[in-house]
Structure 1
Amino acid sequence: MPADLAVIGLGPLGLPLAQAATAASVATTGYDPDPHAVAELRAGRPPFDGGDGSLTAAGIRRMLSAGFRPTTDDAELGKVRTAVICAPTRLGEDRALDLTAVGEAARALAPRLRPHTTVVLESAVSPGTTEDFLRPLLEAGSGLRAGQDFHLAYSPSRLDPGNRRHGVANTPKVIGGLTPACTEAAAAFYGRICEKVVRARGPREAEAVKVLESNYRYVNIALANEMAVFCHDIGVDLWDVVRCAETKPFGFQAFRPGPGVGGHGVPIDPNYISYKGRSLGYPLRMMELAQEVNGRMPRYVTQRSATLLNEHGKSARGARVLLLGVSYKPDTGDQEGSPAREVASRLMELGAQLSYHDPYVHEWSVLGRPVPRADCLYEAAAEADLTVLLQPHRTYDLQGLAVKAQLLLDTRGASPAGAAHRL
């Protein structure tokens, strides 16, 4: 039976979409050029370890039994009514966004594209990419015209790995089509798997939605990080400041500092937009400043660690340092852009003897060297000269850790007040 949907790119962006579509009884084919990823899926195993419980072997098996078909055969793309491109995007060495994977996905789809098919791009891109980059590739490879022979739209991904309340189905879906008919075609598809669809004026507006959402959080985290350094220097308890400020019922939303910013979208969007801004002749200063502030935090955490050790009569060189939580956010094993790696490398450069614990990450390497994983958390904390909490996973008993640890630096303000040194 022909599939209704092809999800192109079965990574952390595409696979949850395929899972949601399958759960909504949408016949779904998953295409990925990586034979290993497809083989893992066919065997009923997730091809990557998100660690948040959303993509388990049991869940993959349920998808397969419901008709999900992973494949490396691009001929399957010619049998669907809707194709959603979920290819990864990364920053290149010149700070421009690398659209290689999006281009490869478009070239795989274009020769198979049939009239009346709806094509949607969900990858994180800068405004104009759907029209100026994706559209010409699809039209040249298919001989069809977007907006006339097939529908083309952009829909920003709003995935939040580890979020137990909001997933694909109950998060409003923004859609911007090349034409009103394109928007309605995409809305008709997403209406089958999402509770609410929000129509943007066009693809550029929908692309800019992702930029605004990501940078809203990124800039506010930078403000919180800058306040953390400032308050520490003047002897003010920032965490108490935030606790009090968030009682204001209007005009304020609480953001908290941390060791840095990671993830699939947040650290990328400000950079590629600031690059785009420079190419237009002016810098986007707010984003560049946020990048500068957030980028300093791993170094600041290292400095605070060395200072704490020194204040307790120990040198960073030779000190036993235990890092807790090396993923980029709590309750997931996803390490994309995690600041833990830079914190660890800087501590190594100071001569510290590192170990780590993370319930979702079973192997971890830094600077090409494996970092020992602590088997018994409390024993490791008791033996370490310094324990640094980077991610407050729900499984951590922070009160108990504060009692066991010789010295605890909490970079997230998650431990009970007075139980640890806070960022």
Structure 2
Amino acid sequence: MKINVLEKLRSRKATIGIIGMGYVGLPLALAFANSNTKVIGFDIEETKTQFINDGVSYFNHISSGSIKSVVEGGKFYATTDFSEISIVDAIILCLPTPLNQYREPDLSYIIRTMDNILPYLRKGQVLSLESTTYPGTTEEEISTRIRQKGLEVGEDFFVVYSPEREDPGNPDFTTSRIPKVVGGTTQNCLDVGVALYEGIINKVIPLSSTKAAELTKLLENIYRSVNIGLVNEMKMIADKMDIDIWEVIDAAATKPFGFTAFYPGPGLGGHCIPIDPFYLTWKAKEYGVNTRFIELSGEVNTFMPHWVVQKVSDSLNEHEKSMKNSNILILGLAYKKNIDDVRESPSVEIMELLQEKGAKVSYSDPYVANFPKMRKYYFDLKSQPITSDLLAKMDCVVITTDHDLIDYEFILEHSKLIVDTRGVYRNVESEIVIRA
């Protein structure tokens, strides 16, 4: 069975089924389709599948043309019909893994999807989980269910874990150019998993187990979380000492060894870094381990929106203006520059905190025209075009996302007060610019 599967994958005769047409699943589908492999995209949202089949992109960083070309070429289509899982040779799960209200892992998307596709699984398929999760998930939630169906993992069905490493909006690192980590439930599973990805990824790194691959992904994101937490704490110390943290970081970065520059901000955003560390802290308790570094960095990063709001309040006071009834413009809703992704964006929490203190909040983001549906937050707002009239009405502009499309010189010229959380004006000396 393994030989037949390997031959199909390597000869591009396999059909790939990707479940979840989001920020991870859609680029992956396009990578396979562009390699002359047939792809079926699965999603529960009919609007997404219809957009794909019409050749229309719903992400700013993915062109409609890139979708249309492979759809019209017969290499890619999308569906909400999960019974078509039975006709694919490889199944890749690109599903959300959020936290619940108690900061515990929520695997409901994975579990629900597995239960939905289980009747359609068959011998000769490979299933890869790409969602970030705690070590043991692939074995406990995927392989166990497959065995219960009567399939023998490693002999007639193959299971791997290969964490996504997408960086939306980064033109230097597309799906194919980012090395891919793969861990298999068995050696046979690993061999099949490597074959699945090596046709579209420049470099595939095999690991000894799915657990090792799961922990690798967590380490990558925890490394960033801890270092961002450190530099955010340094920023608060530097602020109290009246030292420019951006100058300090730039100076430290001149050291050619032993230092990697991380930069402060208004808090953590995106689906990975604000969430993934807590997957490991939760699992570590099962082994009696107290993850102090991880939890401390989480506390610092979670506090940053509150720090920003306090800086706004203090800055308004310095300008003889109270927070209540002040008009405040949030500049940038996305969690990072040049994309439209607002998942876990600190900008949104800052908006809510400001509103709770009586401020009148609006936002401007060239990538987010309307405030999107979110689980925790909702504002009936649309992005405001940056004009001199708008800025004249604002008591304070808070830069939370440093999009390249924004004309910062214009904003500096027409604003009364700017709180800069991204170092946009790090080299500008102005009484109206407050670094936060």
Q: If the length of structure 1 is used for normalisation, what is the TM-score?
A: 0.94
Residue segments in structure 2 that go unaligned for 5+ positions in a row: 1-11
TM-fit CA distance, 1:39: 2.5
Matching residue of 2:22: 11
Contact 2:218 2:277 in 1 (8 A): yes
TM-fit CA distance, 1:289: 0.6
**Residue type matched to 2:126 in 1?**
T
Q: Percent identity?
A: 36
Matched, 1:422 2:435: yes
Secondary structure of the corresponding residue to residue 272 of structure 1:
helix
| Separation of aligned partners in 2, 1:403 and 1:244 | 29
Among 30, 35, 41, the alignment partner of 2:46 is: 35
**Residue type matched to 2:424 in 1?**
A
Matched, 1:276 2:283: yes
Residues 79/393 of structure 1: CA separation in 2 closer, same or farther (3 Å cut): same
Runs (4+) of structure 1 exceeding 4 A deviation are: none
Contact 1:325 1:358 in 2 (8 A): yes
Secondary structure of the corresponding residue to residue 392 of structure 1:
coil
TM-fit CA distance, 1:367: 5.2
Matched, 1:50 2:86: no
The CA deviation string for residues 102-154 of structure 1, in whole angstroms up to 9 with x for no partner, is 1122223332222222111101111110111111112223x101112111110
**Residue type matched to 1:400 in 2?**
F
**Residue type matched to 2:434 in 1?**
H
Q: Superposition pairs for residues 282-297 of structure 1, below 5 Å?
A: 282-297=289-304
TM-fit CA distance, 1:390: 0.3
Matching residue of 1:395: 405
CA-based RMSD of the aligned residues comes to: 1.8
Contact 2:368 2:383 in 1 (8 A): no
Among 113, 125, 142, the alignment partner of 1:117 is: 125
Residues 69/50 of structure 1: CA separation in 2 closer, same or farther (3 Å cut): closer
| Separation of aligned partners in 2, 1:134 and 1:284 | 27
Q: If the length of structure 2 is used for normalisation, what is the TM-score?
A: 0.92
Residue segments in structure 1 that go unaligned for 5+ positions in a row: none
TM-fit CA distance, 1:298: 0.4
The CA deviation string for residues 235-258 of structure 1, in whole angstroms up to 9 with x for no partner, is 111111001000000000001110
TM-fit CA distance, 1:301: 0.3
Matched, 1:357 2:370: no
Matched, 1:102 2:110: yes
| Separation of aligned partners in 1, 2:388 and 2:229 | 32
Contact 1:89 1:99 in 2 (8 A): yes
Secondary structure of the corresponding residue to residue 110 of structure 1:
helix
Matching residue of 2:326: 319
The CA deviation string for residues 216-269 of structure 1, in whole angstroms up to 9 with x for no partner, is 101100001101111101111111100100000000000111001010111111
| Separation of aligned partners in 2, 1:43 and 1:17 | 18
Contact 2:366 2:383 in 1 (8 A): no
Matching residue of 2:99: 91
**Residue type matched to 1:50 in 2?**
F
| Separation of aligned partners in 2, 1:299 and 1:59 | 41
| Separation of aligned partners in 2, 1:344 and 1:50 | 24
| Separation of aligned partners in 1, 2:201 and 2:106 | 29
Among 406, 413, 417, the alignment partner of 2:423 is: 413
The CA deviation string for residues 67-86 of structure 1, in whole angstroms up to 9 with x for no partner, is 20211222221122211111
Q: Superposition pairs for residues 211-222 of structure 1, below 5 Å?
A: 211-222=218-229
